[in-house]
Amino acid sequence: MRKAYSYIRMSTETQLKGDSLRRQLEASEAYAKTNDLELVDEIDGIPLKDIGVSAFNGNNTQNGVLAVFLAALQAKKIPQNSVLLVESLDRLSRDRLAEALNQFMNILTSGIEIVTLSDNQRYTREIVSSNPSSLFIGLSVMFRANEESEMKSRRLRASWENKRTKASTKIITRACPAWLKYNETTQKFDLIEERAKVVRLIFDLCINTCGQYGIARYLNEGHFPVFGGATLWHRSYIKKILSSRTVIGELQTYTKKEGKREKTGDPILDYYPKCVDDNTYHLANAAIQRRNVNDRGRKGVSFSNIFSGFTYCGSCGFRMALRNRGDTPKGGKTLCCYNTLQGGTCKMGEWKLSDLENSLFSHFREINFDELIDNIEDKKLSLLSESEILQTKLKNKTDDADRATSYLVGSDLPDASKKRIFDQLNSLEAEILTLKSQIENVEKQLIEENDARKALGSTELKELIEKIQDHHDDYMFRSSVNQLLSRQIENIQLIEQDVAYMPWEYDDDSEEIKAFRQISSKDKTVAEIVITKDFAKFCKKYQRTIKIKYKTGAIRNVMLGAGISMRANQQTKKGIA
């Protein structure tokens, strides 16, 4: 018995509520019964129904179930002499005529008969070869289907463009983000304040505390109500909120071009009420970018490495990785060069995390951050100057484009001249887009510089450092310190100097001798101490320097063993030159 494959397509799910599905199903069943065919309505368990899938631009052959049928046909899984039942040829395709005809002929040349149930037309390779008029019927249906879809598409684009034009004064769609609602009385959007507070919290956590995994965890542990139907907060939704410019009131409309989603025009400003201000939005996304470069992923239960994301090996430049050797006498948490961990050529030893924390926290308690602010002012002036230059260039290019457009519209030019002006306009448009992008980047840097100045000018870091010991297992607290450090520090390099001092270079006032006596016999003389292996091992950490480069460009060196902080190039054996 010949097989008849019933393909059903509806471009919108709302058609399910009408008569379309029943009509197509009953027509397929009736034809199969009348012509003694075995009706098949699925392939490999997949129903041959495209519900809510358009055939315009071949969408159903790329993203729909029809693609499954065509793949099975190409793989010779569909028996030759089978029948493909469709209500009309426009159910198969509403693509451009050449593409629709190519698909139609490929099915026929594969030995498949196409039957259109609405007019009982049969199409086979033999029929269209011997009776070309039947092909003309099919061509006219395909052409009309594409023309109708093109017309609908043009009308829809025109409708949306008209709505976009009026968007500054009129709502163009009631669809809105989850923290907003449409007010029927005022015909405007209102903030749902309870949800808006959660959105602001998400941005605050992103800027000052932790990444997207940490934010989701914090909201779930705090039992904050989830927007929508989900039961838990997930990183993907946190990311969507943080990246969406709807939080600063913008609406960006899109269109589909050859199956791809493309922006239509510039964003519509102040379309929604703002949930956060522009600076907050940019600072949060700058923090995301910083984390993407420095420290992706989860940070464990207690955020063990508070310097995660900006600590590097001073010998080879690789990042320092946390290593936990457990609670054994020789265990504990250390930072180890990733190059060394992977068996590379670097010979940098491990750094005890507690020693590193003690030395750096001591430095942060003592440093006068006001000394670093002057560098920020210089960089800010440079950025302002760069912005002014870019704005001038943008104005000049925009004026050039306006003049070219006016000349093109107001003159009767030969085709060759029109082409040259069009090419010039395309080039100017590309330059204008590049300049806008550069200006936006400079503006973001200015916001970050202002944030860095604010961070350096506050006492927040010093206050957090004083409380760090009481919160050694508090993820959110340690994450907050990490984020505050990352806003002020460009990088930290751990440097191990291969220097050995002679025994006679030490005396009772040497930092190494004072520190060693606190953990060993205080009765030994300097001469007795300096010849022991324990002292040589103890002194290794005095050959280690922590180099801190601040975002302002300022550099400070901290001697690990002595806890002495100094400007770059001031280090000597005794401490400060």
Q: Same domain, yes or no, for 384 and 352?
A: no
pLDDT above 70 coverage of the chain, percent: 75
Q: For residue range 517-538, list pLDDT tens digits in order.
A: 877 777 788 787 777 877 777 7
Range of the domain at 233: 180-294
d(CA 245, CA 278): 9
Please tell me what DSSP assigns to residue 319.
B
- The band of 381, judged by pLDDT with boundaries at 50, 70 and 90, is confident
- The band of 297, judged by pLDDT with boundaries at 50, 70 and 90, is very low
Pairing state between β 260-263 and 544-550: unpaired
Residue given tokens 């860095």 in the structure block: 452
Q: For residue range 53-83, list pLDDT tens digits in order.
A: 766 666 767 778 888 888 898 889 999 999 9
d(CA 170, CA 164): 9
Q: Considering the chain, what is the average pLDDT of its residues?
A: 78
Q: Same domain, yes or no, for 507 and 572?
A: yes
Looking at the structure of the chain, the number of domains it has is 4
Please tell me what DSSP assigns to residue 276.
S
- Asked if residue 496 is part of any domain, the answer here is yes
Name 9's bridge partners: 50
Which amino acid is located at 77 in the chain?
Answer: K
* Domain-terminating residue out of 153, 188, 220: 153
* Domain-terminating residue out of 294, 320, 345: 294
259 or 190: which carries more pLDDT confidence?
Answer: 190
Q: Same domain, yes or no, for 335 and 481?
A: yes
d(CA 164, CA 252): 10
Pairing state between β 351-352 and 489-496: unpaired
Name 295's bridge partners: none
Q: Kindly give the residue spans of alpha helices, DSSP state H, lying in 308-352.
A: 338-341
Please tell me what DSSP assigns to residue 246.
G
What mean pLDDT is predicted for residues 552-558?
80
Highest mean predicted confidence (pLDDT) among 112-116, 261-265, 381-385: 112-116
pLDDT value at 576 more than 50: no
Q: Same domain, yes or no, for 553 and 492?
A: yes
In Å, the largest CA–CA distance within the chain is: 116
- The band of 402, judged by pLDDT with boundaries at 50, 70 and 90, is confident
Q: Same domain, yes or no, for 446 and 481?
A: no
Q: Same domain, yes or no, for 78 and 103?
A: yes
d(CA 149, CA 155): 10
- Could you tell me if 127 and 136 are in contact, meaning their C-beta atoms sit under 8 angstroms apart? no
- Asked if residue 304 is part of any domain, the answer here is no
pLDDT value at 275 more than 90: yes
Provide the token pair at 155.
């009308």
* Domain-terminating residue out of 105, 135, 153: 153
- Asked if residue 166 is part of any domain, the answer here is no
- Asked if residue 29 is part of any domain, the answer here is yes
Q: For residue range 407-457, list pLDDT tens digits in order.
A: 766 667 777 777 777 778 788 888 888 888 888 888 887 777 777 666 655
d(CA 369, CA 364): 9
Q: Which residues of 78-114 are buried (b: 16+ CB within 10 A; e: fewer)?
A: beeebbbbbbebbbbbbbbeeebbebbeebbeeebbb
What mean pLDDT is predicted for residues 155-164?
57
Cα-Cα-Cα-Cα dihedral of 467, 473, 474, 477, to 10°? Answer: 50
State pTM to two decimals. Answer: 0.48
Q: Same domain, yes or no, for 361 and 481?
A: yes
What SS3 state is found at 369? coil
Nearest to 357 by CA among 332, 331, 325, 328: 332
